[in-house]
Amino acid sequence: MRIKFQQSLDDLKERLLIMAGLAEQAIQRSIEAYITRDTSICELVLQAEPSINKLEREIDQMALDLLAMEQPMAIDLRFILSVIRINADLERVGDQAVNIAMRVREMGAFANVDLPVDIPRLASLASAMVRKSLQAFIEGNVELAQSVLALDDQVDRMNDAAYQALSTLIKERPELTPQSLNALIIARNLERVGDHATNIAEDVIFWVRGADVRHNPAGAQAV
C-alpha cells in the first residue's frame, strides 16, 4: 500500500513536470514570436493552450484523489498541496504566454521599430526563474528556491525601467504608441511570469521545511 502511494506521488510529480515543460515552451515560443515577429509562432502558442488547461485539471484531479484516498500526513500532505499550487501557477504562466502571443500578433500590423526595452533579456531572466524554481522542486532544494526569490527584484526593476523608457518614447514619438504599448504590456506579462516562479519557489520551501515564506522573502520564518 505504502509502495503504491509512493508510486502515485512520483506519477503526480512526473505529470507536473510535463505541465512545466508545456508552460516553459509556451513562454519560449511567445518570445521567439516577439523576436522574429513571426505570427505563425503566435498561433502555435494559442493552439497549445487547451492542452495546458486539460493537463491542469488532470493533475488537480490526481492530487484530489490522493488526498481523499490516502489521507497523507505531514510532508506528503504538504507535497500534494504544493503540487496543487504549482500547477495553478504553471497554468498562469501559460496564460501569460498567450497574452504575449496576442500582443505580438497585434504588433504585426505596425512597423517593426527599435524599442527601448530588452524583452529577450527580461524573458530570459523570467524563464531562468521558472526553470530554477522547478529544479528546486525536483531536488527539494531550499537554497536553490531561495535564489529564485532574489531574482524577482531584478525582474521588477527591469519592468519598471521598461515602463519609464516606453512612456517617455510615447510622449516623444506618439506615432509609435501601438508598438510601445504592446511592448510595455509584454514586459508586465514577463514580470508576472517572474511572480509565478517566486510562488513556485515559495511552495518548494513550504513543502520541504513546513515554513510558509510568502510575504517573508527573507526565508525561513515559520508561521
Residues that bind a copy of itself (CB under 8 A): 50, 53-54, 56-58, 60-61, 64, 67-68, 71, 73-74, 77-78, 81, 84-85, 88, 163, 167, 170-172, 174-175, 177-178, 181, 184-185, 188, 212, 214-215, 223
Secondary-structure breakdown of the chain: helix, strand, coil percentages, each rounded to the nearest 5 = 85, 0, 15
What is the distance of C-alpha 14 from the center of its chain? Answer: 18
**Residue 13: count of CB within 10 angstroms of its CB:** 13
DSSP state of 222: -
Phi-psi group of 40: left, alpha or beta (phi > 0 → left; psi -120 to 50 → alpha; rest → beta): alpha
Cβ of residue 178: shortest distance to a copy of itself, in angstroms? Answer: 6
b (16+ CB within 10 A) / e for 64-83: eebeeebebeeebebbbbbb
Q: Per the structure block, which three cell numbers stand in for 57?
A: 485539471
User: In this complex, which beta carbon is closest to a copy of itself, that of residue 85 or of residue 131?
Assistant: 85
Cβ of residue 49: shortest distance to a copy of itself, in angstroms? Answer: 9
User: In this complex, which beta carbon is closest to a copy of itself, that of residue 44 or of residue 181?
Assistant: 181
Cβ of residue 63: shortest distance to a copy of itself, in angstroms? Answer: 9
User: In this complex, which beta carbon is closest to a copy of itself, that of residue 15 or of residue 85?
Assistant: 85
Length of the chain counted residue by residue: 223
Cβ of residue 172: shortest distance to a copy of itself, in angstroms? Answer: 8
User: In this complex, which beta carbon is closest to a copy of itself, that of residue 140 or of residue 178?
Assistant: 178
Cβ of residue 208: shortest distance to a copy of itself, in angstroms? Answer: 15
**Residue 214: count of CB within 10 angstroms of its CB:** 13
